[in-house]
Amino acid sequence: MKKIMFLAFTLVFGSYGAYAEMSRIDDSDLSEVTGQSGVYLTGEVSFNEEGGPSDNSYFGACNVAEKECGARLTFQTQQDGGWFVLGGIRGSISFEGLTMQIRNISAASEFGGDGQFFGRDVMQIGLPESIRMNDFQFTLATGSSARPDDAGYTQVDFMTVEMSGDMTLQGNLLVFPTP
């Protein structure tokens, strides 16, 4: 359970990342960046690449046309109401060079002068230069009940998004407590 919550937390905070150094930062600024000991992460996250564990009238194997093999998240905002659906989640995201480190930002030269007044630690998750999506897709919809294999279930789909190939994603996500 802790693992899932930690996974959820890290997904919420953006995933693992990289500290991208831009060439315009000169050496004196480098020396102010503490915590070069961080961690460089390479790997992938995949959802239901070979389908999921459920097998009923709605969920099934990926090679069966009428069945859904992606993951599904659904929530209900009103008592006895219908459900919002983020479904058909499938595919993988692979990356090289997500980095994670704790960075103290206190220098005047950082963030257009903001660094000087900040003076605190942030969790810096550096995004890699490129992320490869491999047949990643998901569907947004709303449905009449919680489980699609319920009797009388109807679903109104909004759209299905499909992404594949190298995506340009760079920069650093800084996560810190407020105020």
The sign one gets for the Cα dihedral 13, 18, 21, 27 is positive
Q: Which of residues 69-98 bind other proteins (CB under 8 A)?
A: 69-84, 92, 94, 96-97
CB of 29 to other proteins, least distance (A): 13
The answer to whether 171 and 158 have CB atoms below 8 angstroms apart is no
Find the binder of other proteins among 28, 64, 120, 151 (CB under 8 A).
120
Helix (H, G, I), strand (E, B) or coil at 127: strand
Q: Quick one: which of 73, 74, 77, 76 has its CA closest to 89?
A: 73
Residue 167, interface with other proteins (CB under 8 A)?
Answer: yes
Find the binder of other proteins among 61, 64, 108, 164 (CB under 8 A).
164
Spatial separation of the C-alpha atoms in residues 132 and 112, rounded to whole Å: 32
**Which CB sits closer to other proteins, 64 or 102?**
102
Find the binder of other proteins among 28, 39, 63, 66 (CB under 8 A).
39
Find the binder of other proteins among 34, 61, 64, 108 (CB under 8 A).
34
Find the binder of other proteins among 61, 64, 108, 113 (CB under 8 A).
113
* Long-range interactions of 70-74: CB distance < 8 A, separation 24+: 70/137, 70/138, 70/139, 71/47, 72/148, 74/143, 74/146
Q: Which of residues 40-69 bind other proteins (CB under 8 A)?
A: 40-54, 56, 59, 68-69
The phi and psi torsions of 61 (rounded to 5 degrees) equal -75, 155
Spatial separation of the C-alpha atoms in residues 134 and 132, rounded to whole Å: 6
CB of 114 to other proteins, least distance (A): 4
Find the binder of other proteins among 29, 32, 38, 107 (CB under 8 A).
38
Q: Which of residues 128-147 bind other proteins (CB under 8 A)?
A: 128-129, 132-135, 139, 141-147
Find the binder of other proteins among 6, 61, 64, 108 (CB under 8 A).
6
Please name the residues in contact with 53: beta carbons below 8 A apart, sequence gap of 6 or more. Answer: none
